[in-house]
Amino acid sequence: MFNHNLIKMVKAIRLPMIFSLIWMGAAALPAQAETKPLRIVASFSILGDMIQEIVGEFAVVETIVGPDADAHLYQPNISDARAVAAAELIFVNGLDFETWSNTLISESGTQADVHIATKGVDPLLVSGDVDPHAWNSISNGVIYANNIADVVMAALPQHAAAIDKNRQEYVKKLKALDKSIRAAISALPKDRRVVVTAHDAFGYLAQAYDLTFLAPVGINTEAEPSAKDLANLITQIQTNRAAALFVENITSPVLIEQLASETGLQIGGRLFSDALSERGGPATSYLKMLKHNISTLLTALQTDN
């Protein structure tokens, strides 16, 4: 009798308990979905870092072309296709930088919207072609930051205020860096403003700070210079009295070493043009990359060799 009553009592309690657990679970679901970070894919490391700075903890950012890698010549693999397929937002540089991205995105079957970080940038033309390396000017970096923030704030309206705060702080840091670079570069004499890099990736930086960059390879790393191109470049280096040569993190140093031996100019260091450095390197973020490049350039240009 006792047992029978107990079973009845347990049954009476258990059913509402089960319903209430289901109800609690159902009620908890939207909250869990809300705290799940957004999945963002960026085409290359510099853009990935900018996005991470702005979204903070509200998104997981994956990058297709990693540190020290050449995004011009990249060949996507199956894990890139998986990352793109699982993404909720995709960011690319645009200006024909990632020539492989359209195929990767369409073949992945992703439902994610694709956003162009350079929207609104005034493109620089080099021999009739658009120079894609817009991030190498800080004023363009601010445009990237604002474009990124607009997209992620719309995707995460519940975190829009925090994301906008991140954007404001980031833009403030970029503008302060731009101001200090302008002050440092304004002290350089006119005849110490010509340098040589492996490929033509610093046109926007040159335009911003009144510098001249010469390069054996054009705006795309694909083209190999001919012997005639190199001979012309050596004449240009001598006529323009270039002050230093620089190797890059994403291209072979061979051409620059050859130019150093033929012109007698010093190699002033390594610049990060199209990708961040690996962890532990000097350019692990966009801000660090800009600081490293400018201080490397200034050190070489201020030293009369």
| Shortest distance in whole angstroms from residue 191 CB to Zn ion | 28
| Shortest distance in whole angstroms from residue 194 CB to Zn ion | 20
Of 58-117, which residues contact Zn ion (CB under 5 A)? none
Task: Return phi, psi of residue 259, to 5°.
Answer: -65, -35
Q: Kindly tell me which of 87 and 201 has the beta carbon lying closer to Zn ion.
A: 201
Q: Kindly tell me which of 124 and 149 has the beta carbon lying closer to Zn ion.
A: 124
CB-based contact 88:38 (threshold 8 Å)? yes
H or E segment at 80? Answer: helix 78-86
Among 138, 201, 287, 294, binds Zn ion (CB under 5 A): 201
* Binding flag, residue 274, Zn ion (CB under 5 A): yes
- 160: buried, middle or exposed (CB in 10 Å: 19+, 13-18, 0-12)? middle
Judged by CB under 5 A, the number of residues near Zn ion is: 2
| Shortest distance in whole angstroms from residue 198 CB to Zn ion | 9
Q: Kindly tell me which of 87 and 208 has the beta carbon lying closer to Zn ion.
A: 208
Q: Which stretch binds Zn ion (CB under 5 A): 56-64, 259-267, 269-277, 297-305?
A: 269-277
How distant, in Å, are the alpha carbons of 143, 149, 150, 209 from that of 93? 12, 15, 15, 22
| Shortest distance in whole angstroms from residue 241 CB to Zn ion | 26
Other beta carbons within 10 angstroms of residue 132's beta carbon come to 26
CB-based contact 148:174 (threshold 8 Å)? no
User: Could you give the 3-state DSSP secondary structure of residue 42?
Assistant: strand
Write out the residues near Zn ion by the rule CB under 5 A.
201, 274
